[in-house]
Amino acid sequence: MSSSNQDQPADVLINTTDGLAYWESISADVNGMLGGFPHISKVDIQGSRNFLAKLGVGAKARGKRTVERALEGGAGIGRVTTGLLLDGIANQVDVIEPIQKFTDELKGKPGVGKVWNMGLEQWDPATEVQDGEKYDLIWIQWCVGHLTDEQLVRFLERCKTALDVEKGGFIVVKENNSTSGKDDFDELDSSVTREDPTFRRIFKEANLKLVQVELQKGFQSSGLLPVRMYALKPE
């Protein structure tokens, strides 16, 4: 059930402990990761691949460039890490995921680098990433609803410091968009679904510029909320 208190912003209702408890109760499989809609995974991955291709990243055989190092925030069981990023996009992927049972099978897989079992709000490249190591791509999907607006701004600011800007490094945020005319709080997993204007405000506060925005195609028939992909670079 979704709700939003009209007297306060939806994100102040987020409770990290409740959110973690919800995900600990979820099965470590694609069905669990996609909330009972496993059939959308293929369409989702293809939409992401097409989006990256428009940004010049993809299979070399198609005239695109692969990246050396990528980071996935909120990786879950690694559906995107293995199904997209390590499939012709990046040579190595580090992951951030607070639920350890989700990442157990990822550890030791070819191409998977560091695995941080912590929340996005806790991850800090200043202490976690070795000096000189930078990312060409940071992918963040279906997870930032567990961060308050302020936490999300701070997280994105930290991500900027980990980008290899000289090589054209960029961030992609892929998330549901609210259609209710406001940001909506969901009591089930203690998360917020944000409107498109809210995301754009947050990106601006983090001093990130939008270089590409696209609606994911193929979800309408499943009755799902609109999903947007935002490609971002430092101002």
Each residue's pLDDT, cut to its tens digit, for the chain (235 residues) gives 454 455 789 999 999 999 999 999 999 999 999 999 999 999 999 999 999 999 999 987 678 899 999 999 999 999 999 999 999 999 999 999 999 999 998 988 999 999 999 999 999 999 999 878 999 999 999 999 999 999 999 999 999 999 999 999 999 999 999 999 999 999 999 999 999 999 999 999 999 999 999 999 998 777 899 999 999 999 9
Report whether 32 belongs to an annotated binding site: no
Listing DSSP states for the chain in one string gives -EE--TTS-GGGG--HHHHHHHHHTS-SSHHHHTTT-GGGHHHHHHHHHHHHHHTTBS-GGGT-B-EEEEEEES-TTTHHIIIIITTTTEEEEEEE-S-HHHHTTTTT-TTEEEEE-S-TTT--HHHHS-TT--BSEEEEES-GGGS-HHHHHHHHHHHHHTB-GGGT-EEEEEEE---SSS-EEETTTTEEEPPHHHHHHHHHHTTEEEEEEEEPSS-GGGTPPPEEEEEEEE-
Q: What is the pLDDT of residue 96?
A: 98
Report whether 74 belongs to an annotated binding site: yes
Q: What is the pLDDT of residue 45?
A: 98
pLDDT per residue as tens digits for the range 96-151: 999 999 999 898 899 999 999 999 999 999 999 987 899 999 999 999 999 999 99
Q: What is the pLDDT of residue 61?
A: 65
Q: What is the pLDDT of residue 102?
A: 98
pTM of the complete model? 0.95
Q: What is the pLDDT of residue 222?
A: 76
